[in-house]
Amino acid sequence: MRNKLAHLLLPLLTLAGVSIGVPTAAVAQPATPAPPPDRYESVPPKMARDTAGVGITEHRGDTLPLDTVFTDTSGRDVKLGDYFNHGRPVILQLGYLSCPMICDVVSKNIVDSVKDLDLSIGHDYDVLYISINPQDKWPLAQRKKQTYVDELNKPGATAGWNFLVGQESNIKHVADAVGFNFRKIDGKDEFSHPPMIVVLTADGKISRYFYGWSYPSKLLRTGLIEAGQGKIGGYVEQITIALCYHYDEYSGKYTFVWVNLMKAGGVLTVIVVFAVLGRLWLRDWRASRRAAAAHPVT
């Protein structure tokens, strides 16, 4: 039985990246040279500077500065409050239009989430994107809006999904109210910021935060229903992700954090395998005990 378990477990444990101290000959692997010590640095000082202070400070129940002025996708000056006078909740995304990675991922996942809702955009709720980059201009915002309206392809999307750009002081005013802490990366037209969205009540109060870049439709629907009733939602578990990548000094590239996710998945796989095989072993042991009791050795 032990040999059977070993043969079943070894491939799974190897796939999960877990070492169990088996003899070297059983799982011989070619040696991989380690990177030179002077070429590897997990968190370079520059990246530490660029991400310092990035994150979320929750201000649930606070009201956004609705008199703050922005520019809409037609080039008109508008007040933030113009998007909170329709009696319906609002999904707010803070990002920037030229973001090379995370902002588009968040926007596309909003599309995927709201496609499955039994609520109608522009009727039951709105979506609002505010750029944190003062260099973003309304023609780019117009093109971005059209991209996501087309992708969503639902009645009411043109009126219900809006993009705003604005001056640095006004952007900061809203970001501070949300507790959205971001910073510009030195020497680049890029920003370090957390991936998240906020659900607000019809009068502009912060009801609930959703962290990360994927938002399950059922949870989002609950948040919208609560906000639509003027309620301040409960806490959703916060996953603090200041950036969606880390810097590998050895390769000279930014890489996604999927490696860590796979490691977590590997550990979970091992736990499940041990649970299943443990039950099988226990069943076999009980069967052997019953057989021994039925046919005692004389």
Domain positions in the chain are 47-248, 257-298
Q: Is residue 273 packed enough to be buried (19+ CB in 10 Å), middle (13-18) or exposed (0-12)?
A: middle
Q: Is the pLDDT of residue 184 over 50?
A: yes
Average the pLDDT over 143-164 and give the result. Answer: 96
Q: pLDDT grade, residue 105 (50/70/90)?
A: very high
Average the pLDDT over 294-298 and give the result. Answer: 62
CATH architecture of structural domain 47-248: 3-Layer(aba) Sandwich (3.40)
CA 65 – CA 144 distance, rounded (Å): 25
Q: Would you say 281 and 30 are in contact if contact means Cβ atoms under 8 Å apart?
A: no
Q: Is the pLDDT of residue 132 over 60?
A: yes
The confidence score (pLDDT) of residue 262 equals 52
The confidence score (pLDDT) of residue 186 equals 81
Which tops the pLDDT comparison, 187 or 83?
83
Note if the pTM is more than 0.75. no
Which tops the pLDDT comparison, 15 or 283?
283
The confidence score (pLDDT) of residue 248 equals 38
Which tops the pLDDT comparison, 207 or 9?
207
Chain mean pLDDT for the chain: 78
Q: How far is CA 227 from CA 40, 183, 201, 213, in A?
A: 47, 29, 5, 20
What is the length of the chain?
298
User: What does the pLDDT look like over 31-41, one tens digit per residue?
Assistant: 555 554 444 44
Q: Is the pLDDT of residue 142 over 90?
A: yes
The confidence score (pLDDT) of residue 72 equals 97
∠ CA(182), CA(66), CA(161), 5° rounding? 75
Average the pLDDT over 118-142 and give the result. Answer: 96
Q: Would you say 64 and 200 are in contact if contact means Cβ atoms under 8 Å apart?
A: yes
Pinpoint the alpha helices (H) of the chain. 2-16, 45-51, 102-115, 138-152, 157-160, 168-178, 217-228, 258-294
Average the pLDDT over 157-184 and give the result. Answer: 96
The confidence score (pLDDT) of residue 296 equals 63
The confidence score (pLDDT) of residue 99 equals 87
Beta bridge partners of 90: 126, 200
Q: Which residue, among 126, 46, 115, has the nearest Cα to 86 in the 3D structure?
A: 126
Q: What percent of the chain is predicted at pLDDT more than 90?
A: 52
Lowest mean pLDDT among 18-22, 109-113, 159-163: 18-22
The confidence score (pLDDT) of residue 238 equals 45
The confidence score (pLDDT) of residue 47 equals 55
User: What does the pLDDT look like over 32-82, one tens digit per residue?
Assistant: 555 544 444 444 555 556 566 788 999 999 999 999 999 999 999 999 999
